[in-house]
Amino acid sequence: MCFDRYSQELLENLKSQLPVDGILLSLHGSFAADGIDDADGRVLQEVREVVGESCPILAVHDLHCNVSQVSIDAADVILVMRTYPHIDMHERAEEAVSILDKIFDGSIKPSMVFRSLPILWSAPKMIDSEPPMRDAIRELEKIEQQTEVVSCSLGVGYQWIDSPVVGASAIVVTNDDPESAHQNANQLSEWIWEKRSQWTNPSLKPHEALKMGEEKGKYPIILADQADNTGGGAPGDSTEILRLFIQKGLKDAAVLYLVDPEAASAAHEIGEGGKLVQPVGGKSHPMCGPPINIDAEIVSLSDGRFVYEGPMWKGVEENLGLSALLKHQGVSIIIISKKQILQGMSHGSDAFLLIAEALNYNDLADLYNLGLNEKLETLVEIHDRKNLLTINELSPTIVGVNCRNLKKMELDFSRFERFFPKLPKDSLKVAESGFKSTKKIKIVEQLGYDAILMGTSLMKSKNPGKKLERIIKQL
């Protein structure tokens, strides 16, 4: 539903601007959506359906893109950023505009070819300012020196997404020369594949990585905990690195950041200069913990709002919620609060869903109250009797009953009837999962439900918007 909503918003805006001469999209290239292998490709397909075959469509992708033939078939040109960290967004956008201008004046007729490579590129080998990635960028520039080549791109892939299109990709665009595009795409992909051992690193345990850094004797030593990468969906509260620093007795070290809204809130109640004595981190899942008991000085406090100053997101405002800088023994720790809801708000979200089964009561209540404070609509989802007890204490205004067993993923439509009388009387009641026909929708309507939530059945359809329109007309 989230994909459908944002896709429809984009398409409706586009339709209101028709006719257009060309399209330039800034897409990540590894957009994840349930039931869709290449969500960026789906966006490009839907834009193509609106503007027609004669309208040029160009897209600029993040370096960590997972490209499929779906995207290649729907777009005329796809360019990929080359820097890591990503600081060349502006340059790639200017390049795209320049190509689009030449398409308009007829001096370029793009032919695009891509090759997919089964490589999970290691992050340390993506840094463009040093080899081997610097050599890869030079190879792209070498191919681009050919007069018929319009652009040459390399995507290193995004391994944290569950999709069959994960992997590296080579993309070559020529000026009306398909043979050259194929030849150069083959050449680039073969060059990458022959050097595949250079693009990967063996996994390191934190103590091994720290030892390597100390042996080099160059500081600062920066450890990136990829297993707890919030950009890949991790909770951000792993205590592995913090535990290592404390056990090693480091006196000039920092962990930033650790997601722990309970600790951040407690620090704000105590105030700067006070002491925070409680467990921190490792509360989202046993694999992220256990929590670490600290006796820390509260050095400073923040509301979590800031503006990026670096070259990557310069000028962009962000909000990480209540935050605190703590000092435990020799280790500085930055604690932040809930991030996903606040980040969603910064991108225009006005509602969110909380799954009672996935949260303990305190976290569920904290998130729900955060939504209330930020004036967000909140759907609290339940699927068993234990969850019923939880929401009766919370009294949410919107309650969803999911008839799908979240462990076995089996459907049980009898839940809708069994749970309905036990839901808060004044709440808006939503039936969730398993709706493939209007027959079942009418059944839950007769039970008294106010709305339904459809996800997978819509996402698996070729055109979710049209399917939704058809269902509404049938009701």
Contact 271, 301 (CB under 8 A): yes
Would you give the DSSP letter of residue 36?
B
Q: How many CB atoms lie within 10 A of CB 466?
A: 10
Query: From CA 163, how far away is CA 444, in angstroms rounded?
Result: 33
Please tell me the number of Cα atoms within 13 Å of 54 on its side-chain side. Answer: 5
Per-residue pLDDT of the chain (475 residues; tens, 9 = 90+): 568 878 888 999 999 999 999 999 999 999 988 889 999 999 999 999 999 999 999 999 999 999 999 999 999 999 999 999 899 999 999 999 999 999 999 999 999 999 999 999 998 899 999 999 999 999 999 999 999 999 999 999 998 888 899 999 999 999 999 999 999 999 999 999 999 999 998 888 999 999 999 999 899 999 988 888 887 778 889 999 999 999 999 989 999 889 998 899 899 989 999 999 999 999 888 888 899 999 999 999 998 888 988 888 888 888 788 899 999 999 999 999 865 666 566 566 788 888 888 777 777 887 888 788 778 889 999 888 888 887 777 888 899 999 887 667 788 888 889 989 989 888 999 999 888 778 888 888 999 999 988 877 776 677 777 888 888 888 7
Q: How many CB atoms lie within 10 A of CB 465?
A: 16
User: Which tokens hold the place of 448?
Assistant: 């008294």
Contact 80, 29 (CB under 8 A): yes
Would you give the DSSP letter of residue 207?
H
Specify the long-range contacts of residues 446-455, CB closer than 8 Å, at least 24 apart: 447/416, 447/417, 447/420, 448/420, 449/401, 449/416, 449/420, 453/1, 453/379, 453/400, 454/1, 455/1, 455/34, 455/35
Name the pTM for this structure.
0.70
Burial of 237 (0-12, 13-18, 19+ CB in 10 A): buried
What does the buried/exposed string (b/e) look like for 193-208 if buried means 16 or more CB atoms within 10 Å of the residue's CB? Answer: eeeeeebeeeeeebee
3-class SS at 362?
helix
Amino acid at 115: R
In which order are the strands placed within the sheet that holds 149-155?
110-117, 168-175, 149-155
Domain boundaries of the chain, sorted by first residue: 2-198, 206-339, 350-474
Categorise residue 75: left if φ over 0, alpha if ψ from -120 to 50, beta otherwise: beta
- Specify whether domain 350-474 bears CATH 3.40.50.1820: no
Strand partners, 326: 298, 333
Concatenating the DSSP letter of every residue in 41-81 gives: HHHHHHHHHHH-TTS-EEEEE-TT----HHHHHH-SEEEE-
Would you give the DSSP letter of residue 328?
E
